[in-house]
Chain A
Amino acid sequence: MSFVPDETLLERCRDGDSAAWEALVRRHRRLVWSVLLKHRLREEEREDIFQQVFAALVEHLDGVRDGKALPAWLATTARRLCWRAAQRARSARESALGVGAPEDDVAGIDPVDTREGREVVETATERQLVREGLERLGGKCRELLEALFGGSMQGASGEPNYALIAERLGIRVGSIGPTRARCLEKLARVLGTLGFGAGGDARPSAGTAEARPLEES
């Protein structure tokens, strides 16, 4: 199946296509979760915020029209929701302990404008580019690279088990080397096109999307 860009999926969602929505959620689930993992949250809080991020996207479907900005939008929204949750938890703790104004020292700070915040969002969006690159590669190339790098088909020595990989993929052992070379070259080109490693210069930031990610209130 050919790769369907985020922009197209967003457009289909705006037309009420729930299958396109499912594809978007599946594609970006790890991106959102990776941001949530950077924050000390209870598992159920994390799952709640995961929901909230996608619920926010449903609400802002008309505003998020630039598909290329979607990963940054999701990561930024996730980051801000985590920040809010952490603040609420801290506020509750400090109120219980009778400690002064809980939000004084963080008032006015945008969690994405901190160095750590930028790193979290940039790392998450860069990794999403790799996933998108692999998705665009598709077919045997994707399967082969994931088998070689994923570690799920290793021999006892920790090296890839080429015989097993060849059998699973239905190719000859002797063709793994040339295929790997072709696929890596192709992936390098795809990643270059996507702006991977360009420090976000090649892709719009979340702030350039028509709808800004959920703002800190």
Chain B
Amino acid sequence: MQSEPSSSSRLPSSEDLAAVAFGDAAQDVARRVDEAAKRDPAIAAVLRGMRVAAEAVRTECTAASELEPPMDAVGRAIALGARVAARRQRAFGAVASIGSALDTAGAAIASWLGLGPARGDGADAETAALAGFRDDRGADAVAGTVGALTLRAERIEAEDGSERVVGEVARAGGTGGAGGAMRGTVAALGAGQTVLARAELDHFGMFTLAVPAGTAQLALVDRAGEVVLVIEWPARGGR
């Protein structure tokens, strides 16, 4: 792939430099490039970079097949991904057991966001704490109790269609103050329980979490990293 011959006074083009780097430049082009590189450090630098790149790719491409491990070996290494996936199961492994334990105990996980109007104690009282979102199109105040935990929250849909959940987690008997507050994290989980977003509970056990599209569940994780509560996140239109 050679460039058209031209007078030695003309600056070499990128194509000329590439031809020299590649090794298929015509003699007169190679001479012209060489002279230009001697005169101009900028041209020399570009040529040097192209030569290094060309040599590196040549070495890599010619040896690529020799350096290819057997497919079986690659397949077995990829299969180690099961151990990688197990990390997620370890992190959220408590989900299933908590769910079944609660079922066994007859304590239903409150489908707190799917029940429409506010229910339970304190939901109305939270309205004041959740002020500041008056631009929102609509909001559902909800509350639920599972075991020793009381969760009160509002699900909020902003005008741009985005959703937030704002609320508080407290131990039973707490009043929302620091004494009864729980410390930990609320996480939005997508399909396969991947963590899409998370928010720390503050000193009062309160949280605000932007809920990304694709959220299927909310999980409450305590400070030790244990999942203590998982709640299905219903599609808004489905309620």
Contact = CB atoms under 8 A, between A and B. Distances in A.
Interface of B: 1, 3, 13-15, 17-19, 21-22, 24, 46, 49-50, 52-54, 56-62, 64, 66-70, 72-74, 76-78, 80-89, 91, 194-195
Given A30-B64, A58-B83, A180-B1, 19 more contacts: A15-B194, A18-B82, A18-B85, A25-B77, A29-B77, A32-B69, A55-B83, A127-B56, A134-B57, A146-B57, A159-B24, A180-B18, A180-B22, A181-B14, A184-B18, A185-B14, A185-B49, A188-B46, A191-B49
A127 B80 contact: no
A37 B67 contact: yes
Nearest to B16: A181
A133 to B, nearest CB: 8
Contacts of A19: 81
Given A50-B73, A162-B1, A185 B50 contact: yes
Given A25-B78, A188-B50, A17 B84 contact: yes
A33 B69 contact: yes
Nearest to B49: A188
A182 interface: yes
Contact of B46 (A131, A150, A185): A185
Contact of A51 (B19, B21, B73): B73
Contacts of B91: 16
B78 to A, nearest CB: 5
A130 interface: yes
A15 B52 CA distance: 38
A52 to B, nearest CB: 10
Size band of the interface chain A makes with B = 35 or more
Interface of A is mostly: helix
Contacts of A131: 60
Interface of A: 13-22, 25-26, 29-30, 32-34, 36-37, 43, 47, 50-51, 54-55, 58, 61, 126-127, 130-131, 133-134, 145-146, 148-151, 159-160, 162, 176-178, 180-182, 184-185, 187-189, 191-192, 196-197
Contacts of A188: 46, 49-50, 52-53
Contact of B80 (A32, A55, A149, A150): A55
